[in-house]
């Protein structure tokens, strides 16, 4: 994916001066849909992260990923799978304040999302053969965009958080009535599988598994893992979108079940 610096204001082939273009197709539709999709998720996730209700279903032990890990005395009883080493938190701090900044950083610095929001929000450029409105663009070689290079560190943090989400999903099979599973378990499980797909298909994961090697033949295990990760990497954009949807669906389901709005559909116990 090309996120390399380019010269802004340069007029691409097919465009005309003044930010116009000779393109007659609906080139504006993909960036518009991208902007709407990302904005919808950001608004939903922000509202839910600050709500402090409907995040833990005590009967079925469902915990929404937006509140995991819940480490504060402010968390409702049972939702803290790793204890409460942190005291009460004021209402303006999300209960998952430890994981949310890293998850936000992971997505913001993601190679795919960079392309997506550079195009849809900054119009840099909005589409092929369409002049971008900026006079200058210094690329990712200086502040603030040089911070995008921190992506690999966000990857390490996201890996740990996905492990925690997986642990939450496994614990949910042991609810108040003992072992069993319902639709909520299926949703939590599918969500973590997709989150693993997004996390492991990351470009930084490719580098971690196969980077800096001079001879793959001398590192057959890393080569095999790198090959597997590379195959997933081709689908990274799809994982990026589908995990936004799965996170919202998972959170919404836990919210509705935990507030008694809908019953959990139980399959076993």
Residues that bind ligand FES (CB under 6 A): 106, 110-112, 151, 155, 202-204, 236
Residue 148 CB, shortest distance to ligand FES, in Å, is 10
CB-count exposure of residue 264 (10 Å: 0-12, 13-18, 19+): buried
In the complex, least distance from residue 109 CB atom to ligand FES, rounded to whole angstroms: 7
For residue 23, the minimal CB distance to ligand FES (Å) is 28
Nearer to ligand FES by Cβ, of 52 and 152: the residue is 152
CB of 208 to ligand FES, least distance (A): 11
Distance of closest approach, residue 229 Cβ to ligand FES, in angstroms: 11
Report, in Å, the least distance between residue 159 CB and ligand FES.
Answer: 11
Query: 61 or 203: whose CB is closer to ligand FES?
Result: 203
Q: What does the buried/exposed string (b/e) look like for 56-78 if buried means 16 or more CB atoms within 10 Å of the residue's CB?
A: bbeebbbbbbbbbbbbbebbbee
Closest CB 107 distance from ligand FES, rounded Å: 7
How many CB atoms are located within 10 Å of the residue 227 CB? 12
Query: Closest Cα to residue 152, out of 197, 232, 215, 211?
Result: 211
Burial class (CB in 10 A: 0-12, 13-18, 19+), 92: exposed
Comparison of 1 and 29: residue with beta carbon closer to ligand FES: 1
Collapsing DSSP to helix, strand or coil, 245 comes out as helix
Three-state SS at 51: helix
C-beta of 172 vs 202, nearer to ligand FES: 202
Q: Closest approach of Cβ 236 to ligand FES, in Å?
A: 6
Residue 52 zone, left/alpha/beta (φ > 0; ψ -120 to 50; rest): left
Local structure of 181: helix, strand or coil: strand
Q: Identify which of residues 23 and 115 has a Cβ nearer to ligand FES in the complex.
A: 115
Name the residue nearer to ligand FES (CB basis): 113 or 173: 113
């Amino acid at each position: 994916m090309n996120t390399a610096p380019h010269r802004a204001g340069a007029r691409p082939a097919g465009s005309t001066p003044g930010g116009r273009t000779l393109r007659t197709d609906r080139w504006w539709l993909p960036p518009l849909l991208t902007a709407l999709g990302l904005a919808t998720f950001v608004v939903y996730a922000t509202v839910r992260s600050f709500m402090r209700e409907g995040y833990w279903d005590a009967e079925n032990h469902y915990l929404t990923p937006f509140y995991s890990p819940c480490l504060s005395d402010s968390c409702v009883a049972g939702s803290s799978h790793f204890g409460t080493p942190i005291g009460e938190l004021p209402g303006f701090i999300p209960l998952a304040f430890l994981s949310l900044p890293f998850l936000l950083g992971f997505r913001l610095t993601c190679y795919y999302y960079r392309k997506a929001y550079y195009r849809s929000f900054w119009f840099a450029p909005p589409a092929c053969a369409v002049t971008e409105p900026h006079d200058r663009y210094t690329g990712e070689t200086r502040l603030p965009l040089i911070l995008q290079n921190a992506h690999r560190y966000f990857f390490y943090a996201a890996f740990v958080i996905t492990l925690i989400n997986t642990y939450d999903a496994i614990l949910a099979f042991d609810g108040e009535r003992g072992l069993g599973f319902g639709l909520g378990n299926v949703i939590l499980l599918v969500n973590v599988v997709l989150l693993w797909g997004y996390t492991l298909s990351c470009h930084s994961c490719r580098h971690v598994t196969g980077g800096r090697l001079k001879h793959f033949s001398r590192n057959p295990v890393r080569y095999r893992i790198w090959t597997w990760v590379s195959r997933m990497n081709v689908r990274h954009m799809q994982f990026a979108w589908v995990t936004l949807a799965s996170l919202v669906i998972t959170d919404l389901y836990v919210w509705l079940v935990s507030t008694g709005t809908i019953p959990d559909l139980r399959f076993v116990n």
